[in-house]
Amino acid sequence: MTQTLFRDDAYLAECSATVTAVTGQGLVLDRTVFYPLGGGQAGDTGVLVLADGREIPIADTRKGKNAEGQFTADICHLPALPDPAASVEDHLLRMGVKAGDIVTARVDWARRHRLMRFHTTTHLLCHLVPQLVNGCSITPDYARLDFNMTDALDKDVLSAGIAHLVAAAHPVTVGSISDAELDANPALVKSMSVQPPRGSGQVRTIRVGAGPDALIDFQPCGGTHVANTSEIGAVVVTKIEKKSATTRRVVLGFAT
C-alpha cells in the first residue's frame, strides 16, 4: 500500500520514500507525491533520485492492478524506457533498484501545477454549467469537460465567468464526507463518468468558496487542486464542440 501524500498536500513537490516492490507496472513506493492517472487527471511525471544520485525519469504514474485487473492500493511509478521494447522490470533491475532502497521522489512541479490549475477550473465550470458531466480529461496543456446537454454554450461567456471567479480569489479546501452522507446527497456527484473516491468509508471532497454564503462548488474528488482560485491565472475556454446530440464539450487552455 502506498501512502498518498498528494491527497493531504498537493503542494508537496518531493518526499523521501522506500521502494516496496519492483514490478512490471513500475516502482512501488511506501509513500509518494506522484498522483496516479484517475478521475480524468493525468498521472504525474518527474524523477526518482537514488541514494547514489542517479535519477530514474518517471514517464507516468498509475494505480497498481492485481491479476484480475482490479485496482490495488499501490501506486506504480513507470520509468521512461530508453529502449521502448525493453521490459519495465528488466530496466529497473539493470539499474540495480530493489525493494528496501531509499529514494527521493520529485514530481515535475511546473507540469503538475498546470494540472492543478486546470483541475480546479473544471470545478468552476461545474458551477457555471449546472448540467451533469459525462467526460473529463485534464492534461498539462489543455483540459476538456463534456456536459450532458443539448443547449448551446457560449465560449466568451464561460471565459468571462471563469475570469470573474479567478479574480474573486475563492479559497479551495479539501475535506471529506462519509459514504452514508454521500448516499444521502446523490446530487453532490456531478459526474456521470467519474466515480467518487470511495473505499475507506470516507469520501474526499473539494470545496470552492468559503462558507455556505460563498459556496461556488462542492463535490467528491480525488484530484490535486490549487489552494485559491486566484492561482488559476489566465485560463480560458478555447473551444466548444458539439460532440454528440446530447454532449457539449468545453475545452480549456492557457491564455497566451
Question: What would the grid cell of residue 42 be?
Answer: 493525468
Number of residues that bind Zn ion (CB under 5 A): 2
User: Closest CB to Zn ion among 22 and 221?
Assistant: 221
- The C-alpha atoms of residue 233 and residue 256 are separated, in whole angstroms, by 11
Question: Count of CB atoms within 10 A of residue 67's CB?
Answer: 5
Strand partners, 26: 23
User: Closest CB to Zn ion among 34 and 97?
Assistant: 34
Q: Residues 202-241 vs Zn ion: string with x where CB under 5 A?
A: -------------------x-x------------------
- The C-alpha atoms of residue 188 and residue 106 are separated, in whole angstroms, by 34
Phi first, then psi, for residue 11 (nearest 5°) are: -90, 0
Least Å from the CB of residue 136 to Zn ion: 8
User: Closest CB to Zn ion among 36 and 223?
Assistant: 223
Least Å from the CB of residue 39 to Zn ion: 6
User: Closest CB to Zn ion among 143 and 221?
Assistant: 221
- The C-alpha atoms of residue 211 and residue 171 are separated, in whole angstroms, by 10
- The C-alpha atoms of residue 132 and residue 148 are separated, in whole angstroms, by 6
Least Å from the CB of residue 144 to Zn ion: 13
User: Closest CB to Zn ion among 92 and 203?
Assistant: 203
Least Å from the CB of residue 119 to Zn ion: 6
Least Å from the CB of residue 148 to Zn ion: 17
Would you count residue 143 as binding Zn ion (CB under 5 A)? no
Furthest-apart CA pair in the chain: how many Å?
58
Residue with cell 464539450: 249
Which residue minimizes CB distance to Zn ion?
221
> What are the residues binding Zn ion (CB under 5 A)?
221, 223
